[in-house]
Amino acid sequence: MDVQVKSKSKTSVWAELKRDRFLYLLVLPGVLYFLIFKYYPMWGIIIAFQDFSPYLGVWKSSWVGMEHFVRFFTNPSFYLLFRNTMMISLLNLIFFFPLPIILSLSMNEVSSKAFKRVIQSVVYLPHFLSWVIIAGITFLLLSQTNGIINLMLEFMGFPKIAFLTSENLFWGLLTGQNIWKETGWGTIIFLAAITGIDSQLYEAAKIDGASRIRQMWHVTLPGIRNVIIILLILRLGNIMDVGFEQVFLMANGAVANAADVFETYVYRNGIQQGQFSYTTAVGLFKSVIGLTLVVGANWLAKRFGEEGVY
Amino acid sequence: MRESLGDRLFNIINIILLVIIGLITLFPLYYVFVVSFTDPSEYIEKNGFVLFPEKWSLGSYEYLMSTSAFIRATGISAFLATVGTMLSLIVTSAFSFGLSRKRLRGRRIIMIMVLFTILFNPGIIPSYLLVRDVGLINSVWALIIPVLTSGWYVILMKSFFDSIPVELEEAAMIDGGNDLSIFFKIILPLSSASLAAFGLFYAVAYWNTFFSAVLYITDFTKVPLQIVLRNMLIDSDTAVGGASAMEMSSDKQLPTQTIKMAAVVISTLPILMVYPFLQKHFAKGVLLGSVKG
């Protein structure tokens, strides 16, 4: 009896697979992609615990345990990389993160649809420009010899500022670029969340005599709290990612101490100098911290009764 | 209800604020545009202070159009943006559609697998070694295949497909369709707005490809546009790593500021051209199911 039931369910699985074969065919390329290009490299992480030699391959390279990690943590550049990464991230968190929220609150208060659409088209635009272009524009504006900002400063009788080659200004420069490029784009998600707020809440607030600013504070902001928290969690999880392209493009000899971050370090020592095992260890350290931060932030958010990311 | 004085003041300040933000966003773009059309001699004479050029010139554009490296790299980027986008859209939508159908076995496991790739990535080196081992170095496919789809877009698109009722498929099944024909003939046409949004995001990403080209393309005759732009825009003596500007202008002196900005304008043009047509789909693409409540 038991055997019969089993074999019966087995044939129906086969029948199901056969019936849905085209459905599986549709999914197949995606599954293969994720297995090969996302999961196979995860297996490649084991070279962080080896003295990997491309000639011997993963199977024959010798094991060294945590040696590369120890070497990295005792290296003076570890402190520098960690500091730079955290500072760039924190500046973005403090100065960039609130701006899309403020801008979407402000855009939401505009009654003219046409004006709102024009502003949206304008502020979304920089998001689509590449970091190479942004870097080029930055040089055009801020170069010390003929950047228009410095020319204006000079014209008004102020001294010129070495925006591009000053270590003290480098982090601020990156934050500024990020604000210009992404603030507008960041409003999309908040504006959509605002649309979902029940309009009766505004009516009630108006009857209670709330001004426009008080309505923002007591109705709109609480209404988008979920979205703010979700994005904050994601941001915290990505605190170790500062955007390789931006830093790589803006770095130069004069600001090297402020500009070296984990990924530029991995690129230089790994790709350019072939220290694959050592830099895989560096990358793994960064990824594990990142994963821990997202999981931790998500757990915290849920403890405080919010929805979280997953 | 009449607007109170406070509300009117609030409106005025708010609009002024938005106009200022708009101008701050536009000014750098305006300035790039102006410089690109300025006569190089006027630019040098005024040392870059050309907010309103006296004589407009197409010289910088003519120079660029005679630069073979620039033309070739633009072609490579155009290939990436068209072929890459199409492949990415097909793979992403087919995958997401399959995941959205409850009949698919193992869909939960696959979803968790996709989600995990968003939370954790193995770093640059293991991916680099994979691309190298499969022999894609210096191939244009190294810029497409490793970024064929994205976990984020799969999750967003899946929640979009979740909203398409199964009854629609069942009706088509009865009429003798199979999953393939249903997907291509019924589902995809129904999803055109979402495809437009994701298509634009993929196309922009391919057009802006820079980092993977730094990693995977060492042969200067095979680099995409952003690499050539980098070499033009960033002075070789301040740049770190990568190919130097010497390769770009081995025959001539470093490109002048006006030529650099003409290159910026040309490479931004394709984005500006599709932008108005696709803008109305942005919000949809970003938001499909990503905001709960």
Interface test with A, best of B87, B125, B191 (most A CBs within 10 A): B125
- Residue B291 pLDDT class (50, 70, 90 cuts): very low
Model confidence over B151-182: pLDDT tens digits? 999 998 998 898 888 888 888 888 888 888 88
- Residue B74 pLDDT class (50, 70, 90 cuts): very high
Model confidence over A134-152: pLDDT tens digits? 999 999 999 888 899 999 9
pLDDT at B230: 94
b/e per residue, B141-172, with b = 16+ CB within 10 A? bbbbbbbbbbbebbbbbbbbbeebeeeebeeb
| Percent of residues, chain B, with pLDDT higher than 70 | 88
- The DSSP code sequence of B94-122 is HHHHHHH-TTSTTHHHHHHHHHHHHH---
Of A25, A41, A291, the CB nearest to B180: A25
Residue partners of B22: CB distance under 8 A and separation at least 6:
A118, A119, A122, A123
pLDDT at A162: 93
Model confidence over B82-122: pLDDT tens digits? 999 999 999 999 999 999 988 888 999 999 999 999 889 89
Element (H, E) at B57: none
Cβ–Cβ pairs < 8 A, chains A and B: 284
User: Which of A128, A236, A188 minimizes the C-alpha distance to B156?
Assistant: A188
Q: Residue window 135-194, chain A: list those with CB within 8 Å of chain B.
A: 135-137, 139-141, 145-148, 151, 155, 164-165, 180, 184, 188-189, 191-193
User: Could you give phi then psi for residue A50, rounded to 5 degrees?
Assistant: -125, 170
Q: Is A267 on the interface with B (CB under 8 A)?
A: yes
* Contact status, residue B94 vs residue B179, Cβ threshold 8 Å: no
Interchain CB distance below 8 Å, B124 and A270: yes
Interchain CB distance below 8 Å, A249 and B234: yes
pLDDT at B288: 57
pLDDT at A97: 96
Q: Is B99 on the interface with A (CB under 8 A)?
A: yes
ipTM of the complex: 0.90
Beta pairing partners, B204: none
Q: Which residues of B touch A25 (CB under 8 A)?
A: 179-180
In terms of C-beta density within 10 A (0-12 exposed, 13-18 middle, 19 or more buried), how is residue A74 classed? exposed
Of B226, B282, B291, the CB nearest to A124: B282
CA gap A34, B212 in Å, rounded: 18
- Residue B255 pLDDT class (50, 70, 90 cuts): low
Which residues of chain A fall below pLDDT 70?
A: 1-11
Model confidence over B184-197: pLDDT tens digits? 988 999 888 889 88
Residue of chain B nearest A154, judged by CA positions:
B49
Model confidence over B30-72: pLDDT tens digits? 999 999 999 888 888 887 788 888 888 898 999 999 989 999 9
pLDDT at B167: 84
Interchain CB distance below 8 Å, A37 and B104: no
- Residue B225 pLDDT class (50, 70, 90 cuts): very high
Is the predicted pLDDT of residue B244 greater than 70, yes or no? no
Q: Which residues of A touch B268 (CB under 8 A)?
A: 129, 133
Is the predicted pLDDT of residue B242 greater than 50, yes or no? no
Interchain CB distance below 8 Å, A132 and B233: yes
Residue partners of B274: CB distance under 8 A and separation at least 6:
B200, B203
Q: Is B78 on the interface with A (CB under 8 A)?
A: no
- The DSSP code sequence of A153-215 is HHHTTPPP--TTT-HHHHHHHHHHHHHHHHHHHHHHHHHHHHHTS-HHHHHHHHHTT--HHHH
Q: Residue window 119-138, chain A: list those with CB within 8 Å of chain B.
A: 119-126, 128-133, 135-137
